[in-house]
Structure 1
Amino acid sequence: MERQKVKQLLSEMTIEEKVGQLTQFAGLFYSTQTNDVPVTGPVDFPVNDEIIETSGSVLGIAGAKKLIDIQKTYLEKSRLNIPLLFMADVINGFETIFPIPLGLGATWEPSLIEELQAVSAKEATSAGLHVSFAPMADLVRDPRWGRVMESTGEDPYLNGLFAEATVRGLQGEDLTQNSEHLAACVKHFAAYGAAEGGRDYNTVDVSERELREMHMPAYKAALEAGVKLVMTAFNTVHSVPATGNQALLRGMLREEYGFEGLVISDFGAVQELIPHGVAEDETEASKKALLAGVDIDMMSLCYSHSLTQLIKEKKLDESLLNEAVERVLHLKNDLGLFEDPYRGTSEKREKSTLGHASHKELARTVAEKSSVLLKNNDILPLTKETTIALVGPYADNNDLLGEWSIFGNMDETATLKDKLQEAFPTLTFAKGSDLYERNQDLLEEAIHSATHADVVVLALGEGRDRSGEGRSRSSITLSPSQIELAKKISELGKPVVVTLFNARPIDLTELEPYVDAILECWHPGSEGASAIVNLLIGDANPSGKLTMSFPRATGQIPVYYNAYNTGRPLPAGSEERFFSRYIDIPNEPLYPFGYGLSYASFEYSEARSNGDKFDRKQTLQVEIDVTNTCNVEGEEIVQLYIQDPVAEVTRPVKELKGFKKITLAPNETKTVSFEISEPMLRYHHSDLSYSSDPGTFYVFINGSSNCTDTNKLTITLTEA
């Protein structure tokens, strides 16, 4: 349909039909098989047939036959033949599930994330979907928050690269011409990851400068990549709920950033303006949301119950309704739905696409690259001659897909036991403990099983029921039963390797002394078990690095690498009282941002540059030599950090500004170069202007954020 015909179509619509286009309800209201329709929020309100038959989009349901039938039935009742939009959370895969996004971040490979998101789109569109609620670009510094698993970490620069890659992978280059891609929706606008206390749906209170400096860059990256939709956050921004925040949505998002796409509320967020205390009833909530620029009311009855009356009583200008509806129609048009309401979906296409062998192979590769080796006392990799005892509540557990794998099939997911037994036929196994409950019989069985083994592989973690939306935790340690299991096994004097399955940074301080190796596996997806075995036996070499710091204690949270300095920074090695410090633990995290080991070992030379001064029109080249000092090929992520020691406002102690992933053969040396330009030194001043200051800067090149003076350069930006 030509774009001018959208306006013609709009002119033919009644107010009631327009309002219908701005409402979205869950698939359970459309399907007779409600038990197979995922629900991602409260559903405690009545929806009549009239509302359903005029609603313009559907949430959280998929399947070629199912969606074709729903679309056909809907169009038969639609006066103007305006098709439905089908939207769902396709976060880290559709049927083929990849590692959770926090694990995807640990790959430090945006191009790989773009590739796997294209696979996700291909599978999702074969099942009839048009929109994915991804990427989540929220900056997160608090691992107590359940939805940390859906983020890519604590760094605005890196989050932006992954957000951009996700948009490109999901949307492709031309949605109209390529039905194997779908529209992406960046969320949650804005600063949802900064919820106080790490408690989901809680208040967010950040300054305007902090909002722009740390939280906005990743959203902006998604916008610049051409994302089609933006989802509002549940939280407040400057004390105003995001879903009713005109300054945020119409001001910053549309006027300042130039976003012309569609804004959708999160699940029930329009109605939640009432308990937030900024709206008295549904009518006022609807008015505030539409005035703010929310185009679609997801899973509330506010728009359905109130907008028609508000327009007819002249309490809202119909032009506001029209511009929202027009954006919905333009998205449907961009997807080619007016020409083909089914977008080429068929049961045949679905059957040939879902779970394709190439998709599974990619999932295995990504799971290998996302795993992070946190500790290794020369135990890994395991040799095939080693006698292995596999112990732990995650040893024979297929809960590897993560909370947002709503269309994945856990029953068909291999467990670590399944795959490790293929490599070690004499493997012995014992559960040892439930995930959260102690069992003396299981514990004794595990001790007996481990007694005659050369090495114990201890599979520990937290299940999907302890992470994701609505699953914040006040303490992020492993359960006491699992810690006891680790202690008892360690008393046998055997080398102990931990494979850790979890969806957030875990406090490992109590576990770490009792084990010889820790492989952070996250919730690794459909092919996670195969990937982990490849890593354990050395068929794959760990290369992942953390994008979020692991704390030493829950009370240390938030702890993140790009913190601001204080007036009393703690001198290295000091235990003096009157400095900014804890008296019971170090200030530093147990495992910092950017950290991750390999079976290879890497040596960094001193950093160097082609000069120490440059102006705003020049660039400076800095470089370092990295050598693989062992006989195993490995990948290393070389990271560039910059510190601005004197500025108009306090600046972070260091900021990631670039990185390169290199492969080094045994004993090979490569020179890694970075180009530094003036825009990399800009920041938001106290008046919110965005510019750099002339002066001295420190540059660090290292394999993690734990930089040293050996890797440090001093450079100067001059006025000229």
Structure 2
Amino acid sequence: MTPPTDRPWLNPDLAVDERVELLLHAMTLEEKAGLFFHTMISMGEGGELSEGDPDFGLPSTDEYVNGRHMTHFNVLSVAPTAGEMARWYNRLQAFAARSRLGIPVTISTDPRHAFSENPGAALLSGPFSQWPEPLGLAATADPALVERFGDIARQEYLAVGIRVALHPQVDLATEPRWARQLQTFGEDAELSGALGAAYVRGFQGEAFGPGSVSTMTKHFPGGGPQKDGEDPHFAYGREQVYPGDNFEHHLLPFAEVFAAGGRQIMPYYGMPVGTEYEEVGFGLNKSVLTGLLRERFAFDGIVCTDWGLVTDQEILGTMFPARAWGVEHLSPEERMAKILDAGADQFGGEACPEMLVRIVNDGVVSEERLDVSARRLLREKFLLGLFEDPYVDAEAADAIVGSAEFRAAGVDAQRASITILSNDGALPFAPGAKLYVEGIDAGVAARFGQVVGSPAEADLAILRLQAPFEVRDSAFENFFHAGPLDFADEVLAHVREIAAVVPTVVDVFLDRPAILAPIDEVASALVANWGVSPVALLEVLSGAVPARGKLPFDVPRSTAAVLASRPDVPFDTEDPLFRFGHGLTLQRPDRSAVAAAEPPA
């Protein structure tokens, strides 16, 4: 088909770079500015276009596309079906096609595939296949499994129109208290690099193109070494510290991702303290983004800041300051100019292109500087094939997303991630055993044994716990599990009470390496998970499926050991209770004696 003469960049016979220049030449300053903003968008009811979302302060689709000329969005909503999400996406692309230049939108997302998730960093899986969190993928220590996950997630994303993954997260979990470990691959740089590279290969495919999902790896140059373990989403966690002089170590996983072809990078909020680099947040840091990323690593892909570096924003009813750490005194316009000068291409979580237009018209930033980033952003759209065919097959989406094959693969990964930390012989439990359970639906447990109402009646108690965290003042803060790692006294007393009556298995959702010693002292078996269904758990505990998981980090013996450790140095807590790579095998010799359970829905 011959492209319209007023849109020569649609000619697929031209080289991509030529098409980029043709489109760039046709764009107004306002249209260029719109490319620089990458923020949340919501779906309307029933897959219709959104009229806005007051809870997150989001404007209407019309205001985004026609008023602000924006074409990059992080989809916030969760649709009940893939078909509904695909229909919304097609409506959005058709709406964008009616704009002056018809530039297609690029849709991104935070992780969507976890069985259980931290809403601050991952979204509900909805219709997608369900897998363990990245720490659980790391517990499999299997790059082939992680690449298979990436390939399945790629197919599911493509089916609904998602073309950028705001992941993987290859920060090293070297500070045990840090709130963002769940989406990392753990504490070991070599494993994190291998799994991060496999993840990128799975999402992007053998060759980057129309069948790819572009990966935005985060958080360069490594977001783990947080002072006191606090997270730099908040002013009290803005500092990253390196008492072990170990800054370079945190770059190792990123080097593997670059070698695997990672396309995009998100720098973290944190500001480095006591290093050779400027003491400002990484997204505003020229010595890091230009000197380290662009020059030393020769990275010429897209750099998008983490969310909210320019303007103060209200989140879930609470006002939070812009995360302009180290330059809080600068005006929003000055912060924007500093981010561009640092070498970034997009402002994550911002939607104020009029501000960028203003500082260009005022001579603070040149339009030629905008063109440098605009070329990268447009080129990615062309390479993804969005100008040729931005639409998806909404009828096929429901058959692809969450298919039986993909769900089964996710359940297999859940099983493979379950890690047995200790066992005095209570596991595997016998078929038909009398089970007292907490945190497991009695109907599910009844498929594996006889459920009883009290520990005194049971042969075995199975308790599911969440690693401890400190409740903070705002709803948004509590999306991030931070603070001390010790279980509350009442939780420990409850475990001791049950363990005194019956052999007790304690399974902990270990999103941070909690202080498990008091539980290990009384439990007959101790288990770690990072997002698994109760069916998958019981299949492993009963011996129907072998236990294979290995710890992706050290588990410290005490809070004193955590306080004495250096947050930038891996494996630095003294005499850990369990070491990285620890995990017991477990399988009943006669597997036929255990009834096979259906995979969780």
Q: Same fold (TM over 0.5)?
A: yes
1:312 maps to: 361
Contact kept in structure 2, 1:61 and 1:87, CA below 8 Å: no
Distance 1:456 1:40, change over 3 A: farther
Secondary structure of the residue that 2:137 maps to in structure 1? helix
Q: Distance in 2 between matches of 1:177 and 1:32?
A: 29
Residues 285-684 of structure 1: matches in 2 within 5 Å? 285-301=335-351, 304-342=353-391, 345-390=392-437, 392=438, 394-396=439-441, 417-424=442-449, 426-429=450-453, 449-462=454-467, 470-492=479-501, 494-524=502-532, 528-557=533-562, 587-599=574-586
Q: Given the two structures, how large is their TM-score scaled by the length of structure 1?
A: 0.68
Residues 146-185 of structure 1: matches in 2 within 5 Å? 146-178=179-211, 181-185=212-216
Equivalent residue letter for 2:281:
P
Equivalent residue letter for 1:427:
V
Residues 273-288 of structure 1: matches in 2 within 5 Å? 274=324, 276-277=326-327, 280-288=330-338
Equivalent residue letter for 1:64:
A
Residue 321 (structure 1) shift: 0.2
1:66 maps to: 88
More displaced stretch, 350-359 vs 61-70:
61-70
2:319 maps to: none
Q: Given the two structures, how large is their TM-score scaled by the length of structure 2?
A: 0.81
Equivalent residue letter for 1:549:
D
Secondary structure of the residue that 2:73 maps to in structure 1? strand
Q: Note the alpha carbon deviations across 1:138-173, whole angstroms, 9 max, x for none.
A: 011223222111111111111101110110111112
Q: Note the alpha carbon deviations across 1:220-265, whole angstroms, 9 max, x for none.
A: 1111111111012111133121111111111111111111111111
Q: Note the alpha carbon deviations across 1:406-436, whole angstroms, 9 max, x for none.
A: xxxxxxxxxxx44321122x2125xxxxxxx
Secondary structure of the residue that 1:475 maps to in structure 2? coil
Contact kept in structure 2, 1:186 and 1:227, CA below 8 Å: yes
Residues 99-248 of structure 1: matches in 2 within 5 Å? 99-178=132-211, 181-201=212-232, 202=237, 203-206=239-242, 210-212=246-248, 214-237=249-272, 238=277, 239-248=279-288
Distance 1:108 1:457, change over 3 A: same
Residue 276 (structure 1) shift: 3.6
Secondary structure of the residue that 2:436 maps to in structure 1? strand
Identity of paired residues, percent?
25
Contact kept in structure 1, 2:467 and 2:514, CA below 8 Å: no
- 1:25 and 2:39 are equivalent in the alignment: yes
Q: Distance in 1 between matches of 2:338 and 2:398?
A: 45
Equivalent residue letter for 1:86:
I
Bigger-Rg structure (1/2): 1
Secondary structure of the residue that 1:389 maps to in structure 2? strand
Distance 1:563 1:328, change over 3 A: closer
Distance 1:369 1:100, change over 3 A: same
Please tell me the root mean square deviation across aligned C-alpha atoms, in Å.
Answer: 3.1
Residues 237-276 of structure 1: matches in 2 within 5 Å? 237=272, 238=277, 239-271=279-311, 272=322, 274=324, 276=326
Distance 1:536 1:102, change over 3 A: same
Q: Distance in 2 between matches of 1:563 and 1:67?
A: 44
Residue 632 (structure 1) shift: 9.1
Distance 1:138 1:513, change over 3 A: same
Gapped regions of structure 2 (runs ≥ 5): 1-11, 78-84, 115-124, 312-321, 592-601
Contact kept in structure 2, 1:364 and 1:530, CA below 8 Å: no
2:317 maps to: none
Contact kept in structure 2, 1:200 and 1:469, CA below 8 Å: no
Equivalent residue letter for 2:387:
F
Distance 1:364 1:48, change over 3 A: closer
Q: Note the alpha carbon deviations across 1:165-193, whole angstroms, 9 max, x for none.
A: 11011111234242xx4111100112211
Residue 371 (structure 1) shift: 0.9
Distance 1:40 1:473, change over 3 A: farther
2:9 maps to: none
Residue 490 (structure 1) shift: 1.8
Contact kept in structure 2, 1:145 and 1:471, CA below 8 Å: no
Contact kept in structure 1, 2:171 and 2:224, CA below 8 Å: yes
Distance 1:331 1:111, change over 3 A: same
Secondary structure of the residue that 1:326 maps to in structure 2? helix
1:80 maps to: 101
Contact kept in structure 2, 1:141 and 1:193, CA below 8 Å: yes
Q: Distance in 2 between matches of 1:287 and 1:208?
A: 33
Contact kept in structure 1, 2:467 and 2:485, CA below 8 Å: no
Secondary structure of the residue that 1:139 maps to in structure 2? coil
Q: Distance in 2 between matches of 1:242 and 1:278?
A: 14
Q: Distance in 2 between matches of 1:556 and 1:40?
A: 45
Secondary structure of the residue that 1:505 maps to in structure 2? coil
Equivalent residue letter for 2:522:
Y
Residue 472 (structure 1) shift: 3.6
Q: Distance in 1 between matches of 2:62 and 2:329?
A: 27
Larger relative contact order, structure 1 or 2 (CA cutoff 8 Å, min sep 6) = 2
Secondary structure of the residue that 2:409 maps to in structure 1? helix
Secondary structure of the residue that 2:196 maps to in structure 1? helix
Equivalent residue letter for 1:71:
Q
Distance 1:464 1:74, change over 3 A: farther
Which structure features the higher share of strand residues? 1
Equivalent residue letter for 2:515:
D
Q: Distance in 2 between matches of 1:564 and 1:193?
A: 10
Q: Distance in 2 between matches of 1:455 and 1:273?
A: 49
Q: Note the alpha carbon deviations across 1:52-94, whole angstroms, 9 max, x for none.
A: 4311211124611111111211221x21111111011126455
Q: Note the alpha carbon deviations across 1:322-355, whole angstroms, 9 max, x for none.
A: 011111101101110000112xx22212110122
Q: Note the alpha carbon deviations across 1:278-333, whole angstroms, 9 max, x for none.
A: 5521110111111112111122245x132222222332222210011111101101
Distance 1:632 1:159, change over 3 A: farther
Distance 1:276 1:159, change over 3 A: same
Distance 1:120 1:418, change over 3 A: farther
Gapped regions of structure 1 (runs ≥ 5): 397-416, 430-448, 567-585, 601-629, 634-720
Secondary structure of the residue that 1:596 maps to in structure 2? coil
Q: Distance in 2 between matches of 1:61 and 1:565?
A: 36
Q: Note the alpha carbon deviations across 1:568-618, whole angstroms, 9 max, x for none.
A: xxxxxxxxxxxxxxxxxx931111111111137xxxxxxxxxxxxxxxxxx
Equivalent residue letter for 1:497:
V
Distance 1:561 1:317, change over 3 A: closer
Contact kept in structure 2, 1:161 and 1:218, CA below 8 Å: yes
Distance 1:34 1:289, change over 3 A: farther
